[in-house]
Chains A and B, each alone.
Chain A
Amino acid sequence: MLQPCFDRLSERLLAAGIAPRHVRRYVRELSDHFDDLVREESEGGASRELAQTRALSRLGHESDLAEAMLARPELRSLTSRFPWAVFGLGPIALLALSVVGGIFLEIWIINHTSFVWAWFHMQPSPATARVATKIYTAYNTLVVFGGPLLFAWLFTWIGTRQRMPRAWIIAGVAIVCVLGGFQNLIFYDTGCRGCGHLLMQSAFIPPFPHFAEGVARAAMNLAIAGGIWWLSARKKTSTAVTLHTART
């Protein structure tokens, strides 16, 4: 029995740079169209198999379906059109945004909590200040340590989804891991009532604070990202082998 399988068409279009959303929709529309054609042919008296053969022929050959899509460069994704921007500038912009966004959020929280204290005509006790410092430190650690790894996953996902050459994905992940390792967000309590310091640093900018720590963190980020990549690639290979064995 004939059933259209658009996996190969889908892979070809993605590899050629057509945006995944267009590919997904195209394949879904083709499948629906095929079902409609089979129904029409069956209603015309054709047997199930003949109806499917005719439907496939009416739908068009796979190469024609691919060419029709590839002839429309406007349907290509930004990732495939400007990989240097996505995997080269993207990591830098995202890291900068994450730190600046993190700081602004922190400032907003600090301002609003002081407003709440003032509203109730109260002053935070030293114990409260210590708890707040711990919360801010935990938040900063999450932004500084988690951010680069989250972005590394994001760039891997974007690149894999678009079937981008591995070199681009590795470049994006490496940039985000290395630069992310060198950024720092610190909050510390100065001890005086209502005071606290919020510090944004990059070990790449003179006087290169915590440079050695930055190198260690960059190496750690790379090791984690590389490890996850290796594990997922191993899992994918073993799944493919299992499927192949099951088929044969």
Chain B
Amino acid sequence: MNMANPSFMNGVPELLILRTLESGEMYGYELVQAIRARTNQAISLGEGVVYPALHALERDGMLKSRRKLVNGRTRVYYAVTRKGEKHLAGLVRHWQHITDAIGLAIGGTAHAAAML
């Protein structure tokens, strides 16, 4: 399944970015490939769209960036800050709550039938 509905995706890029960067600093391309691998390519977005989210998260203090020279090219590496870690914990709780609720709604009929 490929999910790209913008309204459904609200807050998802931030969650995925923070979660992926939790394992270590990455630059944009590296991050997008890591997200694709983690989500089994289920979430498809234009790869360039990740940068505004990175800039906004950095501006809000969730991420910090540094320039690093790799193979003669300057890359901008992003890493999660303490504030970002706290925000991620909140986002994870929020999404867990939503997925639990949807799981209940989807499984509701079967669950009710089993109860009878």
Residues of A within 8 A of B (CB): 22, 25-26, 29-30, 32-33, 36-37, 58-61, 64-65, 68-69, 71-72, 74-75
With A60-B45, A71-B52 given, name 17 new contacts (CB 8 A). A25-B51, A25-B55, A26-B55, A29-B28, A32-B27, A32-B28, A33-B28, A33-B32, A60-B48, A61-B46, A64-B46, A65-B48, A65-B49, A72-B52, A72-B53, A74-B59, A74-B60
Q: Mark B24-64, 1 if CB is under 8 A from A, else 0.
A: 00011100100000000000011111011101100110000
Complex Cα gap A8–B95 (Å): 37
Complex Cα gap A178–B82 (Å): 50
Q: B52 to chain A: which residues have CB within 8 Å?
A: 26, 68-69, 71-72, 75
Complex Cα gap A51–B28 (Å): 19
Closest chain A CB from B32 CB (angstroms): 8
Complex Cα gap A64–B45 (Å): 10
Residues of B within 8 A of A (CB): 27-29, 32, 45-49, 51-53, 55-56, 59-60, 73, 75-76
Interface of B: prevailing SS = helix
Closest chain B CB from A75 CB (angstroms): 6
Complex Cα gap A22–B54 (Å): 11
> Count of A-B contacts with CB under 8 A?
63
Closest chain A CB from B13 CB (angstroms): 9
Complex Cα gap A60–B29 (Å): 13
Q: B49 to chain A: which residues have CB within 8 Å?
A: 60, 64-65, 68
Contact pick for B47, options A26, A60, A69, A74, CB 8 Å: A60
Q: A37 to chain B: which residues have CB within 8 Å?
A: 29, 47
Task: Contact check, A60 vs B28: say whether CB atoms are below 8 A apart.
Answer: no
Complex Cα gap A37–B48 (Å): 11
Q: B76 to chain A: which residues have CB within 8 Å?
A: 25, 29
Complex Cα gap A61–B49 (Å): 10
Q: B27 to chain A: which residues have CB within 8 Å?
A: 32
Task: Contact check, A65 vs B46: say whether CB atoms are below 8 A apart.
Answer: yes
Which of A26, A29, A32, A37: most chain B CB closer than 10 A? A29
Task: Contact check, B55 vs A33: say whether CB atoms are below 8 A apart.
Answer: no
Q: Contacts A29-B51, A72-B56, A74-B56 hold; do A36 and B46 have CB atoms under 8 A apart?
A: no
Q: B59 to chain A: which residues have CB within 8 Å?
A: 74-75
Q: A71 to chain B: which residues have CB within 8 Å?
A: 52
Chain A residue at smallest Cβ distance from B30: A36
Complex Cα gap A36–B46 (Å): 15
Q: B48 to chain A: which residues have CB within 8 Å?
A: 30, 33, 59-60, 64-65, 68
Complex Cα gap A29–B77 (Å): 11
Closest chain B CB from A36 CB (angstroms): 4
